[in-house]
Structures are given as structure tokens and as C-alpha cells.
Chain A
Amino acid sequence: MNRTLCFRRLRALCHKETLQIIRDPSSNIIAFVLPVLLLFIFGYGINLDSSAVRIGVVLEDTSPEARHLTDNLYGSPYLAVTTGLTRSAMEEALIAGQVSGFIVIPVDYGATLKRASKPAELLVVTDGSAPNTASFVQNYLRGAWNEGLIQRTDEQGKPAMPNITFESRFWFNASAESRNYLIPGSITIIMTVIGTLLTSLVVAREWERGTMEALLASPVTRTELLLSKLLPYYVLGIISLFLCVAIAVFILNIPFRGSLLVLWGIGSLFLASCLGMGLLLSTSLRNQFNAAQAALNAAFLPALMLSGFVYEIRSMPAAVQAFTYLVPARYFVTAMQTIFQAGNVWPVLLNSSLFLLMSSVFFIGMTALKTRRGLE
């Protein structure tokens, strides 16, 4: 008469959980306000494309050649150039962070070019304290300089050197906007935080308020208890996932090339593993405060650092790389970036799904083991 799963009891528990969600402002904040807030921060605040790197030019030489080079720099859409006359002034600007780098056109630049006995040397100083920007300064200056060389060749009718030129093209993301992959990635981070935070509180709350004792004394089974904690929060999580996707597509104008059905499928697997992790923490710690802190440390940090969302996994030390295989967010980041930008690329998506399935089975299974039908 008391089967492991009775739909009437499950429905009653889910109904209760739903009412609590609707009435608890903090679940609503976690599920709806926080994701929107975070998505906008990620959407507007995190942008790795230095659309215009601020650089300085120290113009010690006033020859036409020097002018020519400066014009080239001014012409580059990637550079915001300020000109200065002395090196020391520019050095100060660099230290103060007003420019990210500067190029020195030496006094004898024009003369050396004319003489053509040895190459004229152009010193570029960058602010290494911001390495990403410094490498962009390096790349953009080299590009502009290269461009200059080619133009020089054309004007004088003979090639200065046999130049190897590039034609580079981005697939999926033609204008190489970092937000096009950062935002799908950031949805992963947001869903990780929300999924774990939501459930990390719910079991601990029942223990703290003493309602768990009453439930345990009723005919409720372990399966019903577990499912009643998963299903309502799954629905909440999925709504919040699609809310994020809608904002990304309609407000932040991120192209979406995959299918919603696939997104729903993989999103569900990912959500299951996040909710499972939160439940596991909540069930084992039985204290809302500690569970929430642990959830943040166990979910947010690895998702931000080790998912390949901003930081390339392949560049990490081998030990750290090995660890990333255990982070569910890693697979969802790949899947989200692919679904958004590349569409349904099955090898990638199936691989991700498999790992996500394994991690959800692991977390939910562990929670089931931890859920005891007693007080000890």
C-alpha cells in the first residue's frame, strides 16, 4: 500500500513547494531578478574586444615618413591615438593608465628610412600590467604598421619587401565580437549559480524550521521527497533559462542558430546536475547559511574559472585541466556557445549531453543516498 512513488503524495508535495516558491520573495529574486541583473552585467560589462585601444605616439621626428606612419595609426579603427612630443610625458601617461601603450618615432626615423642601409627602429612600450590589452596593442600596431608597409610599396611602385599578407575570417561570429560567445557562456554561469543556490536552501530550510520532522513522520517516501524538491525548481530554472536566452537574443542581439528543442534538452540535463549539487549540499549540511556559502564556492567559482567561459581550458596546467572535466559548467558552456553560434553540431552536443547526464545522475544519486528516513 505504500509504494515508493505515489502520485497523489508527489503532487501534494510539489504543490506545497510551488506555493512556497511563489510566496517566498527570495526564491523569486534568485530565479528572476538575479539572472537578469547578471546577464546585463555580462552583456555590457564583460567585453574582451578592445574596440579602440588607447595608445600614444611620441613624435620626435617630423619628416613626411613619420607623418605617414602617424596617419596610418590614426586611420586604424582599433586605435585611439594621442600624440605627444616627449617620451617622459608619455611614460607618465602610461604609468597613470591613460594610455595602454605608446610608440616612439625617433628623431632619425625619416633619415634612416631614406638611407635604407638598416631598418629604422620603432620602439613600442606597452603597459604589461594589463596583459590582454598589451597583446592587443602589439597586434593592432603590427597590423597598422604592416598596412603602412604595403601602402608604401604601392606609392613608390616597387615592393619594399615580399610581404606575406593575411586574410582572416571568423566562422560563426564574423565580426569577432566577444560578447557573442561570452553571453551564451555567461548564461551557463548564471544558471549554475541559480540552480545550486535555489536548491541549496530548500532542504536545509525544512530542517531549520522543523517541518522535516513532520514530513518524516508522515507516509512520504524518499523518492517522493527528492522529486518534490527537484521538479518545481526544475520548472523555475527552465523558465529562468529561457528568460535569459530571450534577453540575450532580443535585447542583446546575440544570434541564435540552434534549435530551442535541443537547448531545452541539454538545458534540462545541466539544470538537473546543478539542482542535484545544491540538494546534495543542502541535505548534507542542513544549515541554510553554510549551504548557501558552500554552493557559491562549489558552483560559482569553478563555473567562472574552469568552464572555459573566459579562460581557455587548453592553456591551463595539466592538473587544472584534468579537474575541469569534473565541472558540469564546462560542458554546458561548450554546448551553449555551439547552439548559439554554430547551430546543432551533433558531435559536440552529444558529447556534452553525455557528460551532463553522468554528472546529474551522480549528484542526484548522492543526494538520494544522503536522504535518510530518520533523524540520525
Chain B
Amino acid sequence: MDNAIVCLESVQKSFKGSSKPALTGFSAAILPGCVTGLVGPDGAGKTTLIRLMAGLLAPTAGSIRIQGLDPIANASTLRDAIGYMPQKFGLYEDLTVLENLQLHADLRGLLGQQRSDTFKRLLDFTDLARFTSRFAGKLSGGMKQKLGLACALLGQPRLLLLDEPGVGVDPISRRELWKMVNSLADQGIAVIWSTAYLDEAELCQHVLLMNEGQLLFYGRPAELTCRLQDRAFQIRNISVNRRKVLAMALCRPDVMDGVIQGRNVRLLLRPHATPPNPSEFNAGANAELVPVAPRFEDAFIEALGGGPGGYSELAQRLQPIIGENDTVVEAVGLTKLFGDFAATDHVNFAVKRGEIFGLLGPNGAGKSTTFRMLCGLLKPTSGTARVLGIDLKTNASEARQQLGYMAQKFSLYGNLTVKQNLMFFSGIYGLKGSQQQDMVKSMTEVFNFQALLGRKPDTLPLGFKQRLALACAIMHGPAILFLDEPTSGVDPVTRREFWTHINGMVEKGVTVIVTTHFMDEAEYCDRIALVFRGKIIAAGTPDQLKAQVASTANPDPTMEDAFITLVQSQSDLDVAKQNQSTPAPSKQAPANKETP
């Protein structure tokens, strides 16, 4: 690879105080003019590698050459050739979009005519021209992402390093971002995109698949997926409980991995396994096994040694929740106004016992506001939210004993040990004495915390934090579990383990309410409400939503297609309505007040 822009030769990196090196003997060459994905689970060493290339860290051994130069020794030359977007974007939130751009332009010496041309080009490119005077802190996640990208592009780099740009961004913004990155690659720039999302990896021309500091695979994603030809199947027409079907399937020795996709169950078989007979899954008389195309995610799971299995020991240890098959969570005309802005606008829905109910929507659509009102963290402006028939805002304590809550950022006490966190959360829910000890012990066994009991969550990898947060939320045996973006940033293997537990608990009668913008997570839900601009614009089972957008051009839409199509058609509708209802002079009144 003579034309490679980055050459990594047996690069090694260890940090003081940690026994295992972050990177071991890493060699690769990165080509210009394409998007190279840096794929791997949490803690694989992706950020370390990017920082090494940006010249922010020095390798312990081995060499890095960018355009034939060392990124630290020749830093002053290379800085102009490298654009870098760190995980937190590196934006000043109290500066406007334009001020952020100006700062980076000044720092990179972009002046005069060239500067105004570049600004114009980048603002058009990122579609931020309308927002130049808005504070970066007030932008949505997707817009911040684009601005971060624009800042990184100012020096007209030959190499663009993007550290997890897809985290916390909804599918629509993610699609736009990809479009931009691809057009940059077409101009001959080498783009490195690090991610834990495998649908993103599939879009890259090349991927570096890494795990625990080692390179597992380097090449085109298709090379990896085509090895899995004839091993991916879908069980369709299931007439019984699909969660039970999945759990059973995952316990079979010939099944490597499996997920729920709406009504269906998708399976990946182990190598050389013969496709089983559909009747073996007890999926009902009409069940059939249909071969489907393998995905990069399958390859990833295989590279990491398979999925976590379908048996949830956690669920086994929980007491079943006994109750009628009635409505346990209900929102009636739920509205929250912040000033003139309706974050949640007359939302109605009801969730039955033992259901998984998903709230989906783009960034800032009002998912979280609705969610927080349901668990009693926010007071509705009007309307009511009832849990088990009780308004959480008025009658607190007993009703809350029935809830489990897992927040968006795992809100554990980072400076208490794992054991102390478990003891604390069981304690405030009234567990004591031997009952408390038993429960903590049981959680320790289920989640393999034995070696970590004395560690602080802050020092643990994301996957363990997430397990601990789940353990803390369910020790008191709640009837209803609230999960706010529970697996954001978590790798697929851990996500599967998480959903195995959730599925197991639902079988025990627990009701789950989840917000997410992961489309494959949405597939696990029994019912979904799609929230946009404070309103529910579509509701139903995942398959119903998909069916809603099916067309001749796209007869079998994915969940992501459904999401994007539904949101965009609503957006178009709003624009049309606004044009009708607001005559030219009265621009003052906010649109959402006027629309009935």
C-alpha cells in the first residue's frame, strides 16, 4: 500500500498504572479517499489509537507515520494536515456557531478571501448557515456533531479523525453526517470514523475491527460478512410468545446469536451447523425458517466469540410479579410547557402489564420530558401520568416502591464501591438484614461482580457500569422498569446480554418502558410510540410502523427507514400547515400555539 496516508507499524501503547497495554503490536495502513471504520467494543483502544494519530499521545513502542512524518516530532507541519474531532466535539458551548468557526480559522491561519469562501462552503455543506448566531450549547446533538465536523475541516486536512461521532445522534442526523463524510472521502481525504455501532461500520469502505487493543480484522466489511453466508435466518410467522422462542433458540448449541426483530426472531447459526427444522423452536404451527443476508454485526459477534446466550439467571432469581393483565402506566393529555415551548403536547397512551413499551424519537423531540413526567421527576403542566393507578406527583412513596429507574447517564455513585452502591440502593428501597445481604449476593453472582466489589464504578468499563445500574434498579423487585436510553454507547454483545435479562424479566410479569434511538433496540418492543415535536406521530407494534411506510420502492423497510420516513413526512406536514396558518405579518406567534 504505497499510497497510504497513515502507516502504523507494530504500535504499542501502555498507560501508567494499568497492567494491560491499551494497544499491542498494531500494524495497519490507511488509504486516502475512503472512510475507514475503527470498530470495536467499549475499551478496545479506539480512542487511544485516534489520539496517537493526532499526536496527542506518544506510542510506547512502534512507529506511526502520517504522510511519512512522525505526528509528534513533526507536529507543527502535520497539525495543518490533520483534522480532529474529539468525543465531546471540542466546541465552546458559550460561543456561537460562527465564533467557534472563527476561532478555529484563526488558529489554523485561514484568512482573507480563502476564509470567507471556506466558511460559506462549510456552512452550506453542514446546513448550519441559518444558525450562525446560535450558541453551540443550544444546538441539538446532530447539529453539534456537524459543527464539530466543520471546525475539524477548516484547515483543509488530508486526514480527518472522528472519535465516535455517531453517539447520541438520531438516525436522521446520522444519515446526513454520513452523506457529508462520504463526499469528503470522494474529494480524496482519508476519514477515520470510530464507532461501536455496527450498522455504521457496514457503511465504511474499510474497517479495522479491534478488541482489547488487538487488531482482529482489517479489510472491507463485506469480506467479513460474506464468510457468514447461509448462516443467518429469520423465524417468521411465530404464533406464540417470540421472547420465549428467542430464549429457547439461544440455548441451543447450534445457535450462535439471536435477536428479536419485531414479530420475528433473527438467528445466526454456528459454522457448519445444518439449518434446524422450524418446528424445533416451538414457535407455532406456521413458523418458518427463512434465510436472510448476513450483517456486519453478525461478523462482529462471531469475532468476539458469540453472543451471551438466552438464559437470564437474573430473571430466574426474581419473584414473579402477580397481578391482573390491566393497564399499569397511563398518560392522559400529558402536556409540559417550558415557557411557550411545548416539550410534550397532549400525549396519550396506556401500557399493559408485562409489556415492553418504547418511546422513540429524534433528539429533542420530547421523549425525555415525557419519560420524566411518567416517573414523577417533572410535574406536568396539564394532564396526568398514572402509574399503577396512582399519580406519582401526589402520592409518592408507596407507588415509587414499585418502580425501577435506570437513567440515561448511569447515575451511580462513582466514588462509592460497587458493593456500597448495591447496599445503598437496596437500602433506600427498604431491603435490610439477611434479605438485603442475600439480594446483594445474588446480584453479585448473576452479574459476575465478585472481582469488582471493591472497585469504584468510575473506573469500570461502560458495560459493567450498565450492568451495575441495572442491578441497582431491580433489587427491590419492581413491577415497572423505566429505562432511559439504557444501552447508549454500549457494544452489541453487552446490549444482547442486557436484553436477555429484560426479556426474562418481562416473562416474569415486569412492565418495561424504554426510550431509545437505537433501531434494533426498538425491535424488541411490543409497542412503540414515535415522538416528534412533543407529539406522538405514530404508534403501534414495530411491524405496524414498518408496514405504514412500505412502498413499492421499498417493500421491506427497516425500522430506521420507518423512523426517518415518518418523521420527515410529519415535518413536511408541519411546514405546510405553518405556511397556511401564518399570514405574513403575524410572525411573532409561535407556531405550535396556533395549530389546534
Contact = CB atoms under 8 A, between A and B. Distances in A.
B58 A376 contact: yes
Contacts of A6: 109
B118 to A, nearest CB: 15
* Chain B interface helix/strand/loop/mixed: loop
B151 A375 contact: no
A176 interface: no
A375 B92 contact: no
Interface in A1-57: 1-2, 6, 8-9, 11-13, 15-16, 19-20, 23-24
9 contacts: A2-B79, A11-B106, A15-B103, A209-B92, A211-B88, A214-B151, A217-B82, A374-B56, A374-B72
Interface in B75-129: 75-76, 79-80, 82, 84-95, 99, 102-104, 106-109, 111
A218 B76 contact: no
A201 to B, nearest CB: 13
B51 interface: yes
A1 B92 contact: no
Nearest to A8: B106
Nearest to A6: B109
Nearest to A15: B103
B58 A374 contact: yes
A11 B87 CA distance: 27
* Residue of B88, B92, B102, B151 with most partner-chain A CB within 10 A: B92
B57 interface: yes
A204 to B, nearest CB: 15
A210 B108 contact: no
Contacts of A12: 102-103, 106-107
B291 interface: no
A121 interface: no
B110 to A, nearest CB: 10
B54 interface: yes
Contacts of A375: 51, 56-57
B95 A216 contact: no
Contacts of B51: 375
Nearest to A219: B79
Interface string A211-231: 101111111100000000000
9 nearest interchain CB pairs? A214-B90, A210-B88, A12-B106, A2-B76, A217-B84, A213-B86, A219-B79, A218-B107, A375-B56
B94 A219 contact: no
B94 A19 contact: yes
Which of A2, A12, A213, A375 has the most chain B CB atoms closer than 10 A to its own CB? A213
Contacts of B275: none
B55 interface: yes
B94 A210 contact: no
Interface in A164-198: none
Contacts of A23: 94
A15 B111 CA distance: 16
B211 to A, nearest CB: 23
B86 A210 contact: yes
B92 A211 contact: yes
B56 to A, nearest CB: 5
A16 B56 contact: no
B151 A16 contact: no
A217 B76 contact: no
Nearest to A16: B103
A16 B88 contact: no
Contacts of A210: 86-90
Contacts of A211: 88, 90-92
B107 A20 contact: no
Contacts of B86: 210, 213-214, 217
Interface residues of B, number: 35
Contact of B108 (A15, A219, A374): A219
> B57, B85, B102, B109 — which one has the most chain A CB atoms within 10 A of its CB?
B109
Interface string A60-74: 000000000000000
B85 to A, nearest CB: 8
B90 A213 contact: yes
B88 A216 contact: no
A23 B86 CA distance: 24
B125 to A, nearest CB: 19
A375 B99 CA distance: 26
A218 B109 contact: no
Interface string B537-554: 000000000000000000
A13 B103 CA distance: 7
A290 to B, nearest CB: 13
A10 B12 CA distance: 36
A6 B111 CA distance: 14
B338 to A, nearest CB: 20
Nearest to B89: A210
Interface in A316-364: none
A219 B109 contact: yes
B61 to A, nearest CB: 15
Interface in B412-453: none
B74 to A, nearest CB: 11
A287 B100 CA distance: 24
Given A217-B54, A374-B58, 5 more contacts: A16-B99, A211-B91, A215-B107, A219-B76, A219-B80
A204 B55 CA distance: 21
Contacts of B107: 9, 12-13, 215, 218-220
Contacts of A11: 106
Nearest to A12: B106
A11 B95 CA distance: 16
A236 to B, nearest CB: 16
A9 B76 CA distance: 14
Contacts of B89: 210, 214
Nearest to A21: B94
A2 B54 CA distance: 17
B22 to A, nearest CB: 12
A209 B56 CA distance: 17
B579 to A, nearest CB: 35
A13 B104 CA distance: 9
A289 to B, nearest CB: 12
Contacts of B106: 8-9, 11-12
A117 B146 CA distance: 102
A215 to B, nearest CB: 8
Contact of B93 (A15, A209, A214, A216): A209
A72 to B, nearest CB: 66
A9 B91 CA distance: 17
B75 to A, nearest CB: 8
A2 B95 CA distance: 26
Contacts of A374: 55-58, 72
B82 A20 contact: no
Nearest to A212: B90
A1 B76 CA distance: 8
A28 to B, nearest CB: 13
Contacts of A376: 15, 57-58
Given A218-B79, A375-B51, A213 B94 contact: no
A215 B152 CA distance: 11
B17 to A, nearest CB: 12
Nearest to B95: A19
A209 B55 CA distance: 20
B47 to A, nearest CB: 10
A217 B95 contact: no
A2 B108 CA distance: 10
B92 A16 contact: yes
B106 to A, nearest CB: 3
Contacts of B79: 2, 217-219
A216 B88 CA distance: 14
A1 B103 CA distance: 19
Nearest to B16: A376
A12 B75 CA distance: 21
B351 to A, nearest CB: 38
Interface string A245-286: 000000000000000000000000000000000000000000
Contacts of A2: 76, 79
Contacts of A16: 92, 95, 99, 103
